[in-house]
C-alpha cells in the first residue's frame, strides 16, 4: 500500500477507495497529502458528497487559459482594476484561430487532429456521462440539441424555442441543459438586478466553456470562417467569458459574475461583484472602442461602482476615461 502523499488519477473508477481515504483524512491533521482527479464528474462528485463531504477542497479545472498558453501562470482573477505590465497581443486572425481550436490540452499537443478529438469527445461524453444520468433513447435528438444550443451561445435561454427546434418538450430541454451545466460544458450566467432596478430582465444567458467544441458543433473549422459569419461576435464574447471564468477557477476561487439587461434595452455584458463593488465589463470585437459602448455603465450607482473595462481587440492597455479601461483580450 502506498503511503501519503499520493496522487490518484481517475479515482471515480475505484469507488471502493473512498471509505479508506476518509479514514486516512480523519486520522491525520495534515492537509494536502492526498490528491484525487477524475474526468467523470457525475460519479466523482457523488462519491465525494457521500464519503468526503467537509474533508476535501474541490478545484474545477477547465481547458488551457490564455495565460497558461502564454506560459504566464501568475495572473490573478480578472478585475478591470488590475494594472499589469505590457504583454504581447495577438492579431484578430490569431484570436479566431484559437477560438476554433479550443482549449483542451489534446488539441494543443501537436499530434491530435482537432476534428477527430471533438468527434470522439462527444461520443465518449454521451456514452460515459449522459447515459449514466439520463435515459436518452434518441441519441440523434441529443446531438441535434447540442448543435442548436452551440449556435445560440451567448444568448438568453429560451427553453421553448430550443424545444421547438429539437423536437422535444421544454421540460426535456431543461433537464439536458442542467446536465451540460453540471458537467462543465456550459456556464449559465445569471442576471444582476439587485439595487439597479425592478425592470431588469431575469432570464439567464449561457455560454460554452470551450469555444472549440462550440465551433465544431456549428460546423466551423477555421478561424477565417469563424470571423466571417454573423455569430463571430457571439464566439468572441464566449471566448472572453470563458477566459474570465478560468481566471477564477484556476486560482481556486468562485466567480461572482452576472450580466445586466432591462426593459429599456440597456445592457452590460458582465458585472463582476467583489468586496462590495460592481465592476462593469463590455465585450466588443473591435480594436477601436468608443465611450458610447460604455454608456450603460451609468445604471450602476456611484456608491457601488468599481473601475469598468472594454475587453476588445485593442493592442494596448490604456484608460478610456477616469472610470473605464480599454483591455486587450490577451490581458485577461
In tens, the pLDDT along 136-173 reads 777 888 999 999 999 999 999 999 999 999 999 999 99
pLDDT in tens, 67-104: 888 887 778 899 887 766 778 899 999 999 999 999 99
Residues 255 and 23: their CA atoms lie apart, in Å, by 32
Triad 151, 157, 161: Cα angle to 5°: 75
Q: Which pLDDT score, from 0 to 100, does residue 228 have?
A: 96
pLDDT top residue among 198 and 21: 21
Hey, what's the cell of 321? 476615461
pLDDT tens digit sequence for 29-71? 777 778 887 666 655 556 555 666 667 777 777 899 998 888 8
Between 193 and 121, whose confidence is greater? 121
Span 1-24, average pLDDT: 75
Query: By the 8 A CB rule, do 323 and 297 touch?
Result: yes
So where are the chain's domains? 6-51, 66-331
Can you say whether the dihedral through the CA atoms of 67, 73, 79, 81 is positive or negative? Answer: negative
Q: Is the pLDDT of residue 237 over 80?
A: yes
- Once rounded to an integer, what is the mean pLDDT over residues 227-231? 96
Q: Where are the alpha helices (DSSP H) in the chain?
A: 18-27, 41-51, 66-69, 92-101, 114-125, 131-133, 139-150, 159-166, 170-182, 211-217, 223-228, 232-249
The 10s digit of each residue's pLDDT in 276-332 is 899 999 999 999 999 999 999 988 877 788 899 999 999 999 999 989 999 999 998
> Quick check: 309 and 330 in contact, CB under 8 A?
no
* pTM, to two decimals: 0.88
Q: For position 44, what pLDDT does the model report?
A: 58
Is a pLDDT exceeding 90 seen at residue 130? no
Of 66, 89, 112, 123, which Cα lies nearest the Cα of 241?
66
Burial of 46 (0-12, 13-18, 19+ CB in 10 A): middle
Across all residues in the chain, what is the average pLDDT? 87
Amino acid at each position: 500500500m502506498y503511503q501519503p502523499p499520493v496522487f490518484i488519477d481517475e479515482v471515480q473508477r475505484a469507488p471502493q477507495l473512498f471509505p479508506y481515504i476518509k479514514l486516512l483524512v480523519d486520522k491525520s491533521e495534515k492537509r494536502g497529502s492526498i490528491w484525487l482527479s477524475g474526468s467523470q464528474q457525475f460519479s466523482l462528485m457523488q462519491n465525494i458528497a457521500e464519503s468526503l463531504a467537509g474533508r476535501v477542497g474541490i478545484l474545477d479545472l477547465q481547458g488551457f487559459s490564455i495565460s497558461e498558453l502564454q506560459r504566464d501562470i501568475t495572473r490573478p482573477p480578472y478585475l478591470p482594476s488590475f494594472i499589469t505590465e505590457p504583454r504581447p497581443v495577438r492579431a484578430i486572425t490569431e484570436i479566431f484561430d484559437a477560438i476554433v481550436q479550443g482549449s483542451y490540452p489534446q488539441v494543443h499537443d501537436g499530434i491530435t487532429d482537432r476534428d477527430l478529438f471533438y468527434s470522439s469527445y462527444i461520443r465518449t461524453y454521451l456514452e460515459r456521462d449522459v447515459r449514466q444520468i439520463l435515459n436518452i433513447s434518441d441519441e440523434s435528438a441529443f446531438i441535434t440539441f447540442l448543435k442548436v444550443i452551440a449556435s445560440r451561445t451567448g444568448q438568453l435561454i429560451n427553453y421553448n424555442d430550443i424545444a421547438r427546434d429539437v423536437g422535444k418538450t421544454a421540460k426535456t430541454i431543461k433537464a439536458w441543459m442542467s446536465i451540460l451545466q453540471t458537467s462543465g460544458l456550459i456556464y449559465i450566467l445569471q442576471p444582476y438586478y439587485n439595487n439597479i432596478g425592478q425592470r431588469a430582465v431575469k432570464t439567464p444567458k449561457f455560454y460554452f466553456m470551450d469555444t472549440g467544441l462550440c465551433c465544431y458543433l456549428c460546423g466551423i473549422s477555421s478561424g477565417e470562417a469563424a470571423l466571417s459569419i454573423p455569430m463571430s461576435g457571439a464566439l468572441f464574447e464566449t471566448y472572453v467569458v470563458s477566459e474570465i471564468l478560468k481566471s477564477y477557477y484556476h486560482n481556486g476561487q468562485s466567480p461572482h459574475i452576472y450580466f445586466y439587461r432591462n426593459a429599456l434595452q440597456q445592457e452590460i455584458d458582465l458585472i463582476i461583484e467583489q468586496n462590495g463593488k460592481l465592476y462593469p465589463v463590455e465585450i466588443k470585437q473591435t480594436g477601436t472602442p468608443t465611450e458610447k459602448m460604455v454608456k450603460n455603465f451609468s445604471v450602476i450607482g456611484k456608491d457601488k461602482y468599481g473601475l469598468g473595462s472594454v475587453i476588445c481587440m485593442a493592442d494596448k492597455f490604456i484608460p478610456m476615461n477616469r472610470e473605464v479601461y480599454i483591455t486587450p483580450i490577451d490581458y485577461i
